[in-house]
Amino acid sequence: MTTDFEAQLRGASLRVTGPRLAVLSALHEHPHVDTDTVITLVRAGLPTVSHQAVYDVLRALTDAGLVRRIQPAGATARYETRVGDNHHHVVCRSCGTIADVECTVGHAPCLTASDDHGFAVDEAEVVFWGTCPECAASTTPR
C-alpha cells in the first residue's frame, strides 16, 4: 500500500513541509507512539528538527484530522495516522502497549448509549484495558 502524504497535506490545506511529511511517515510506520518517540523517529531522517517543531506539527496534523491523538487514562498521549474509522484500542496496564481493535459493528458509533441524554451520538471511543501477551508471559509464576 502506498500512502501519498503530500496529497493528504494538500487535501487538508496544509503546506507540504519536510517535518510534516516525516511525522506522517513515522506515525504510519509506527502507530500509537508518544511524542518522544515521534521526535526520535523524525530526527533519524531530519536531525536538526527541534522538539517544538515536532510538537507544532503534531498539533497541526491533529487539528487537520490527519492524525488521531489517543490518550488512555494515566498514559502519555499517543498518535496514529489511522483516522476516521472509529476503531478502538486495547491497552496493556503493565507496559502501555496499544493495539487496534476493530469497530464492533463496522460503523460509528459502534455502541448504543444506554441513555444518550438527548445527544445526537456519532462516535464511541472505547479503551479496553488488560495485560498484553508479553507481560502476561513474564508475570506467569513458574
- 81 belongs to the binding site for Zn ion (CB under 5 A): no
Q: How far is the CB of 136 from Zn ion (least distance, A)?
A: 8
Which residue has cell 463496522?
Answer: 106
Under the binding rule (CB under 5 A), the answer on residue 92 touching Zn ion is: yes
Q: 72 Cβ partners below 8 Å, 6+ apart?
A: 78, 89, 91, 96, 98, 127, 129
- Per CB under 5 A, 56 contacts Zn ion: no
Give the DSSP letter of residue 111: S
**Residue whose CB is less far from Zn ion, 6 or 85:** 85
51-63 vs 35-45: helix crossing angle, rounded to 10: 110
- Report in angstroms how near the CB of residue 5 gets to Zn ion at its nearest: 18
Site of interaction with Zn ion (CB under 5 A): 80, 92, 94-95, 97, 100, 132, 135
